Structure 1
Amino acid sequence: MHELLPSAGLFSGSQILQWIAGESRPGGGKDLPLTDAVTGSKRGDLRASSPGDVDSAVTSAAQAFPRWRHTPASERAAALREAAATVRAHTGELGRILSRDTGRLLGQATDSAAVAADLLDEAAVTGVLEAGRSLAGNPLAVDAVRREPRGPVAVLTPWNDPYPAAAGLLAAALVTGNTVVHKPSERSPAAGWALASLIAARLPAGVLNVLAGDGEVGAALVADPRVAVVAHIGSTATGRDIARVVGGRGGRVLLENGGKDPIVVDSGVDPRWAAEQIAIGAFTNTGQLCTSVERVYLHRDVAEAVTAELVRIAEAMVTGDPGASGTDLGPLVDERQLAVVARHVDEAVAAGATCLTGGRRLDRPGCFYPPTVLTGCRPDLAVMREETFGPVAAIMTVPDFDEALKAADDTDYGLAATVLTPSTAHALRAAAEIDAGTVKVNAVFGGAPGGSADPRRGSGHGPGFGPALLGEFTALKAVHIEAAP
């Protein structure tokens, strides 16, 4: 909880780990082993929060809520701006902590911390722009719709990109007047606690409370009837379990869950550029991003040339060629994730797919799996249906753009999709016809601030970012006022 967090001064990953390992805080639940993703060795134990810790955290948030909800929006926004400045001043250390936690490349991890600071600043601006609206009723009365905070919010975030995931949800909940209990993933515990400590230090006591632990801790938090909203980023299976529990007690749920994002490569594109886009989408952060490219549909006119370029890039990443499209090779987060990736690849090859490069764990310490290119994939394979979350480009060749769009939409998910095409007509069709929260044309990553998107199907529901997210943490109240006679 906030009063138990370390100070917001300079700190190291080892200091944060000592804190959440129970060496500097009272109480605590079971111990969970922590593994170094780079070396594969055990680096300690995480002391999970106990049921009593969960109850105390929710109590703290509930007690702080009345005062925080009535704090002027401008003051709440100012606190977030201060938090953003603090996070920005510590991006280097935050990057090192995240790299140690998950094996993410240091440059990417540091950039991720900077994005978190940007999201805090963005919410500080958008959070004071709309508190409701007036209505055209009786001119001798006042009619308005107010937006009011909902109460204590539970924020559960993943390990793969924990800084932006947490910052976006925390900022939206806090700037609209809610208090928060935050449980970062047990697979990136030091990173989660480090970011939360910097933000909490700029807030009144009890406004932001942090728990450590696995699914048991999350389940206890989700089940607490005092929690008005649960915002979860993580697996689809966990999201559906959360929805059942929270829906059963009348709470509100926001879910950004699994993805199986496609990329469609149309006829007429430059093969080298297309291969670079696929590599960035499929191999960045070792394929461990919610919007990583996991399915590749190549028009038959360009399939051979694009595939050859993609294999060249993948092999250059393993050998350390600095010209490999700006991508580098890091480890998977742990043995559990490596096993999923290896199973998907092995099953695809056994079913007739061809592995052109990669496909076997690298002979080095840690959870390293090479960028892998599979061709001849069928739509029924696990590598085309289930979330792989690893550096695998699974390719199907399609006869035309119509078939490509149909194949891209043949999924249980709907988080994002990318289309590479020189045709304006095809770009407009993709935007209109692909049933996904985000559709990107001619750029696998990117987008302006201020947007919002709802994931589809198994990828969740409710906007995961932007101004619309603020509305999810508020409740509408109609107010009618007349003068007394």
Structure 2
Amino acid sequence: MTTGAPTTSEITVLNPHDGTLVGSLPCAGEDEIRGALTAARSAASDWARTDPEERGRMLRAAAEALVQHATELAELNTRETGKLAQEALGGVMAGVGTLRQYAELGPVHRGHSLRGGVLAADWTVAEPRGVVVALTPWNDPVAVAAGLLGAAIVTGNAVVHKPSERCPHTGARLGEILAEVLPEGVLVTVTGGPEAGRLLTQLPEVDAVAHVGSSATGRAIALAAAQTGAHVIRENGGNDALVIDDDVDPAWAAEQAAIGAFTNAGQICTSVERVYVHRQIAEPFLEALAAEARARNRDRDTMLAPLVDRRLRETVQGHVAAAVADGATVLEGGVVPDGPGSFYPATVLRDCTERMQVMREETFGPVAPVAVVESFAEGLRLAAADRYGLAATVLTGRIAHAQRAVAELAVGTVKINNVFGGAPGGSAQPRRDSGAGFGYGPELLDEMTQVKVVHVEMPPARG
């Protein structure tokens, strides 16, 4: 549903491929935001009392509605964010799978029995938190939103969803599609920029905030929640490392690095942001990685998405230029192309050091900065010395090195020999500047509920 109060401004979106106008949508003002929260609060009580099986049935219906509109949403996503068509459709279908998964998991989400007195009974009950605010990103807008919305809705919460201002049309259309099969007020979508998101997280009517986005925004949300008492789930930025041992095939390692650094033009929270390669295989690895980048730059229409906008491109180019000024060498890319849109070439940098911004910060672009290390231990040490804690990947044929990486890397997810590997529903807890709480998987149902302990025993016999 949408509210009818006046709005304060508009969001205008340009197509990252060619700079043409996608469209404009209104920014929700304070009246609309308060109205959305009121509508969600009004729906929350009845929805919480709805049988879990019925909530699961409705979520399955929402998944099927998403299937019917998959092509439409994927095309809209491509126009707004530049995501390659096949990857955009894959993101929508991933969202469908997530909704179906939560439709099955939700009705069997349950508490635990507790051992108490012989003549007493003790158990826990999982109850919905109430009104959940979901703030979702632009880099995979349907898949990520489906996870947060699905988990919140199936556990009996009402949700106010604000999609990123970089993909408001995709988020608004997703909201319309899902809301059509849900009771009024269970899912309310508002469009707006940072001010709208800030207000949503500062109002005391909110019981929980689920956020996927930047670390700076995540910290602001956590500070606001300290005042409102809202529960916060946040998956924020990452600076994921790739550590390459000396016993692996350098060509295969280059393929893995390219997939990790260049997929969706590096605009993935768990993209490879920095590479540590053992000196023994460094030269063939760098040669192969540069070739991987060149192949993507030659065929960017099918292999390399543009960056979401020119503002991000300026940031990416700033990281690369600063690294070069500080001694890094460009093996491929590194130059802003002429023409419309916001493309940036797949870029490989060698001779990178820890003092460079491109190694210390999340670049969020198709850049693979490489540091050559003398040993696996050195690569692991440098990978672990970071303020982020989202994920990391290690390529090695030695089980002892794999086990050491698992023990020493203080991140939510450690991947061995596959940069984007992982089973469906594999939950993780990001750490430090990368966030807190389970942002996906079965454990997200726990985040969306609160536990009540029940104790029952017989009263004493009368007289």
Shorter-chain TM-score range: over 0.9
Distance 1:77 1:115 in 2: 18
Residue identity in the other structure for 1:156: L
Map 1:218-257 → 2, pairs under 5 A: 218-257=197-236
Q: Is the 8 A contact 2:248 2:397 kept in 1?
A: yes
Matched, 1:133 2:112: yes
Secondary structure of 2:259 counterpart: helix
Q: Is the 8 A contact 1:3 1:206 kept in 2?
A: no
In structure 1, list runs of 5 or more residues that go unmatched. Answer: 5-24
Q: Is the 8 A contact 2:109 2:445 kept in 1?
A: no
Alignment counterpart, residue 147 of structure 1, candidates 126, 142, 147 = 126
Residue identity in the other structure for 2:86: G
Name 1:473's counterpart in structure 2: 448
**CA offset at residue 134 of structure 1?**
1.7
Name 1:287's counterpart in structure 2: 266
Q: Runs in 1 of length 4+ with deviation above 6 angstroms? A: none
Residue identity in the other structure for 1:434: L
Name 2:69's counterpart in structure 1: 90
Residue identity in the other structure for 1:40: G
Name 1:345's counterpart in structure 2: 320
Q: Is the 8 A contact 1:49 1:213 kept in 2?
A: yes
Q: What's the % identity of the aligned pairs?
A: 49
Alignment counterpart, residue 398 of structure 2, candidates 405, 409, 423 = 423
**CA offset at residue 42 of structure 1?**
3.9
**CA offset at residue 191 of structure 1?**
1.1
Distance 2:103 2:113 in 1: 23
Deviations 1:331-366 (A, max 9, x none): 100011000000000000001100111000122321
Alignment counterpart, residue 118 of structure 1, candidates 97, 107, 116 = 97
Query: How many residues in Structure 1 have an aligned counterpart in Structure 2?
Result: 460
Name 2:289's counterpart in structure 1: 310
Name 2:418's counterpart in structure 1: 443
Residue identity in the other structure for 1:255: R
Deviations 1:2-24 (A, max 9, x none): 266xxxxxxxxxxxxxxxxxxxx
Alignment counterpart, residue 392 of structure 1, candidates 359, 363, 367 = 367
Q: Is the 8 A contact 2:134 2:211 kept in 1?
A: yes
Distance 2:114 2:174 in 1: 41
Residue identity in the other structure for 1:415: L
Matched, 1:165 2:144: yes
Residue identity in the other structure for 2:391: A
Q: 1:43 to 1:114 in 2, by over 3 A?
A: closer
Q: Is the 8 A contact 1:332 1:368 kept in 2?
A: yes
Map 1:64-83 → 2, pairs under 5 A: 64-83=43-62
Deviations 1:272-323 (A, max 9, x none): 111111100000000100011010000111111111001011111111299x
**CA offset at residue 160 of structure 1?**
0.8
**CA offset at residue 84 of structure 1?**
0.9
Query: What RMSD in Å do the two structures reach over aligned CA positions?
Result: 1.4
Secondary structure of 2:303 counterpart: coil
In structure 2, list runs of 5 or more residues that go unmatched. Answer: none
Distance 1:450 1:334 in 2: 31
Which has the larger displacement, 83-92 or 341-350? 83-92
Name 2:437's counterpart in structure 1: 462
Name 2:177's counterpart in structure 1: 198
Secondary structure of 2:425 counterpart: coil
Name 2:155's counterpart in structure 1: 176
Name 1:8's counterpart in structure 2: none
Distance 1:291 1:144 in 2: 38
TM-score (normalised: structure 1): 0.92
**CA offset at residue 400 of structure 1?**
0.6
Q: Is the 8 A contact 2:2 2:36 kept in 1?
A: no
Residue identity in the other structure for 1:51: E
Matched, 1:403 2:389: no
Name 2:331's counterpart in structure 1: 356
Distance 2:291 2:2 in 1: 52
Distance 1:330 1:144 in 2: 51
Q: 1:354 to 1:3 in 2, by over 3 A?
A: closer
**CA offset at residue 138 of structure 1?**
2.7
Alignment counterpart, residue 375 of structure 1, candidates 350, 359, 371 = 350
Name 1:100's counterpart in structure 2: 79
**CA offset at residue 233 of structure 1?**
0.6
Distance 1:26 1:96 in 2: 30
Secondary structure of 1:301 counterpart: helix
**CA offset at residue 473 of structure 1?**
1.2
Alignment counterpart, residue 49 of structure 1, candidates 16, 28, 49 = 28
Residue identity in the other structure for 2:357: A
Deviations 1:111-163 (A, max 9, x none): 00000011111111121223211222233332111111111000001111111
Secondary structure of 1:440 counterpart: strand
